[in-house]
Amino acid sequence: MTPAPEMTARELLDFYLEAGVDALVGEEAVDRFAAVDQPAPAARASLPAAAKADMVRPAPTLQPAAPQAPDEAIMAAREAARTAASLDELRAILEKFEGCALKGSATRMVFADGNPAAKVMLVGEAPGRDEDIEGLPFVGRSGKLLDRMLAAIGLDRTSVYIANVVPWRPPGNRTPTPQETQICLPFITRQIELADPDILVCLGGPSAQTLLNIKDGITKTRGRWFTFNSGKRDIRAIPTFHPAFLLRSPLQKRFAWRDMLSVKKALSE
């Protein structure tokens, strides 16, 4: 997608916004298509004719590493996640993992926030723009609402652990593809196993469907208790509405409030 040359700066910005570009990652634009190792213009003038002729040839195409087939990437993710003996090791392994293409477009990985020893772990779907910039989950508008929901039952980020199914922001905040989700699943599963919370809160339908392996949508499943088998033990799990949904549909907050009360009650049992 190339913008037309006669566009004004304003039109150009609108074009980029519509194309899903909503964050700057550097002060200077980098022309990645420019020929590699081209001498500066002054040096070019003094080059012999044969060398100049070489330079008008198209730049060699940079060959990206062949993307891994999804099945292979899922197997590699399982293998890699299994070897992590601690959350720190898991984070380091995930930083090096190349099997998920989202890593290439994200600014940084968003691993977790909060207290890994907490009794409650909350898992969202994937980072958004603010999370991608800060490298922490739920720090944008929906994160602020999540903080208020937690405060309503006496919790905060020192008493919960927060992560996402997918640790890299999908471009333009699109929904992660089923393949991307499946590739990331072994990592979040291992993260839950290592954190070993007593209660798992799935924030939104995609998180609940992926982690609890269920098909029903969030309206049917929210507020119901499920079991998440971490491989180590059964953990009580409850889906609730995603805070981003609650921002769009504030009337639904009363149901999320009930779910938070269920979490509070379960904590006291």
Interface positions with ligand URA (CB under 6 A): 124-128, 131, 137-138, 142, 164, 244
Smallest distance, ligand URA to C-beta of residue 162, A = 8
Encoded tokens for 24: 């700057």
CA distance 12 to 18: 10
Which residue lies nearest ligand URA, judged by its C-beta?
Answer: 124
Burial code (b: 16+ CB inside 10 Å, e: under 16) for 152-180 equals ebebebebbbbbbbbbbbbbeeeebeeeb
Count other C-beta atoms under 10 Å from residue 134's C-beta.
Answer: 16
Smallest distance, ligand URA to C-beta of residue 164, A = 5
Which residue's CB is nearer to ligand URA, number 22 or number 234? 22
Smallest distance, ligand URA to C-beta of residue 124, A = 3
Which residue's CB is nearer to ligand URA, number 68 or number 107? 107
Smallest distance, ligand URA to C-beta of residue 173, A = 9
Which residue's CB is nearer to ligand URA, number 126 or number 246? 126
Beta-carbon contacts of residue 93 (< 8 Å; ≥ 6 apart): 80, 81, 83, 84
Residue where the block lists tokens 């699109």: 174
The dihedrals phi and psi of 226, each to the nearest 5 degrees, come to: -120, 175
Which residue's CB is nearer to ligand URA, number 142 or number 191? 142
Which residue's CB is nearer to ligand URA, number 15 or number 245? 245
Which residue's CB is nearer to ligand URA, number 15 or number 147? 147
Whether 225 and 238 have beta carbons less than 8 Å apart is answered as yes
Maximum Cα–Cα distance across the chain: 83
Smallest distance, ligand URA to C-beta of residue 138, A = 4
Count other C-beta atoms under 10 Å from residue 19's C-beta.
Answer: 12
Smallest distance, ligand URA to C-beta of residue 49, A = 58
